[in-house]
Structure 1
Amino acid sequence: MFARRDFLPGSVAVVTGAGSGIGATVAAALIQRGLAVALLDRDVAALAETVARCAPGQTLAVPTDITDPEAVAAAFAAATEQLGPVRHVVAAAGVLRPAPLTEIDPLDWAISWQVNVGGVLHVLQESARRLPEGGSVVVVSSNAAVVPRIGMASYAASKAAAAALTRVAGLELAEHGIRCNLVAPGTTATPMLAALWPDPAAAEAQALAGEPAKHRLGIPLGRIADPEDIADSVLYLLSDQARHITLQQLVVDGGATL
């Protein structure tokens, strides 16, 4: 039996959304721990940047549109063929299309669900087909799935649906010894956040203090999360240290869901 904080030697992981943000940070952390990692993202240039930033180790960049189930199946097949049997999966790919309820563009709504829910479905289905007993899946959700946010109906609803989907998958796969959990970040310093903040200094101060007029509390710990904060939580749930944890959602937001 191996140490609970470790991964089995030679383990292979698949990470979606590995081109940037949390996905890229998780991929790098797994590689540093000696895992071989298949990096999935639809952005080819971003994937190349992730590979260049990663610590030495085995990587396989697989440009993939996770909204296409056949593409996801092909990516898992490539990972298995070139790296070995997949044991760990992280679904970190996601999109955020903010808008007030009455102004939601139907296309933005559809894309949010295709990526944040459909993409997770395809990854979970392929994980169910391929992971061995002792395998583990972590889906990156959002604290917006737990607490409503003004202007984020598409994002919050799709993340909540993905959370429910992941728990159902975990229940169905438990008899096969496969664990499925969620990590729900709050405000985290990623390119997605940067795109929302034209004035980063003012926006950060507001996020930390809260916005009573918008029914939004601040962040009690008084800091914006780094991607590494989220990656640490993901790796914990992936590892054997969490071998008796499944169907759970770990909120990592500095207390913002208060």
Structure 2
Amino acid sequence: MSHAAAPRFAGRVAFVTGAGRGIGAAVARTLYAHGASVAATDLDGEAVEELAAGLTAPDAGLPAHGRFLARRLDVADPAAVRAVTAEAARELGPVDTLVNVAGILRTGPAAGLDDADWASLFAVNASGVFHTARELAPAMAGRGRGCIVTVASDAAGVPRAGMAGYAASKAAAAMFTKCLGLEYARSGVRCNVVAPGSTDTPMQRSLWDGDELPPRVLEGDPARYRNAIPLGRIADPQDVADAVAFLVSDEARHLTMQQLYVDGGASLR
């Protein structure tokens, strides 16, 4: 008599930041759909509540193997991060998977960014990763296993005109994650980075003039030294979520300190 295989992430507990929409929502949805219990957090508390309602509804068609916790969280606030991570562990069990997706975008010339924009970019994009990892990584190490994935950007490794502050903050987050991975490797905690390129999210659409995909996104923009996307399509948030799911899965058990570009080949790596 055959038995159905256990869901891919059955028994796992994941903490996801920036889960209200876009890539973060796709990550939370994917992990939950494959059996994990998920603490979905976002500065927009209503957005994660709506996500939770949709995923846990009786007609959602998802197996109820895990639980779903939705909480408002400002990752730039270390006290709030400490409180919400502790609550997640109490409600769902020890967190063994952390996915850092929360991020903001401010654009402008490298020497023209004001102090507030620079500070806010680093507070969310870089310090937010530090705050969550500081709370969760030591406990993972104490249990001898865990996975951390930081969703950075291809701009963390490829210069972008008009995006110096964003790129610098994402590069800081990526390098912090890799250093964390080095320090915790012997403790069984793997730390990796996903670097998306242009992805159809509210953040990406904020750069468009209207609702239509600008030709420059796919075809490149020589005036701004921006490459085309060789695969000829903009990413869907699910493309990034699938890469995250791979990196936190047992199939990636020998991968740590890696940076996976999910950009359709745009970075030419």
CA contact (8 A) 1:96 1:112 kept: yes
Identity of paired residues, percent? 52
Opposite residue 53 of structure 2, the aligned amino acid is: A
Shift of 1:51: 1.1
Equivalence for 1:27:
28
TM-score (norm 2): 0.91
Q: Which of 213, 218, 231 is matched with 2:223 structurally? A: 213
- Tell me which of 258, 261, 264 is aligned to 1:254: 264
* 2:49 maps to amino acid: A
1:166 aligns with 2:177: yes
Q: 1:91 aligns with which of 81, 97, 100?
A: 100
**Alpha-carbon distance in 2 for matches of 1:142, 1:134:** 26
Q: Equivalent residue for 2:237?
A: 227
Give 5+ residue unaligned stretches, structure 2: none
TM-superposed CA distance for 1:202, in Å, is 5.3
Structure of greater relative contact order (alpha carbons < 8 Å, 6+ residues apart): 1
Q: For 1:1-258, what aligned pairs fall within 5 Å after superposition? A: 6-7=8-9, 9-54=10-55, 55=60, 56=62, 57=64, 58-131=67-140, 132-201=143-212, 203=214, 205-258=215-268
Q: Deviations over 1:119-140 (max 9, x none)?
A: 0001111121222322101000
Provide the rounded CA distance (Å) in 2 between the counterparts of 1:198 and 1:51. Answer: 32
1:196 aligned counterpart, secondary structure: coil
CA contact (8 A) 1:91 1:120 kept: yes
- Rounded to whole Å, the distance in 1 between the matches of 2:169 and 2:175 is 10
Gap regions ≥5 residues in structure 1: none
Deviation of the 1:187 alpha carbon: 0.1
- 1:199: Cα distance to partner? 2.5
Letter in 1 for 2:8: D
Count of residue correspondences:
254
Shift of 1:102: 3.0
Contact 2:107 2:163 in 1 (8 A): yes
Distance in 2 between residues matched to 1:133 and 1:202, nearest whole Å: 45
CA RMSD between the two structures: 1.6
Cα distance in 2 for partners of 1:206, 1:52 equals 37
DSSP 3-state at the match of 1:62 = strand
Counterpart AA for 1:99: G
CA contact 1:12–1:35 (8 Å) conserved in 2? yes
Deviation at 1:52, TM superposition (A): 2.5
**Distance of 1:114 and 1:244 partners within structure 2:** 31
Q: Distance in 1 between matches of 2:137 and 2:46?
A: 30
Is the 2:8–2:35 Cα contact (8 Å) retained in structure 1? no
Corresponding residue SS for 1:103:
coil
Q: Deviations over 1:103-155 (max 9, x none)?
A: 21210110000001100001111121222322101000000011011000110
Structure 1 runs, 4 residues or longer, greater than 4 Å off: none
Distance (Å, rounded) in 2 between the aligned partners of 1:143 and 1:91:
15
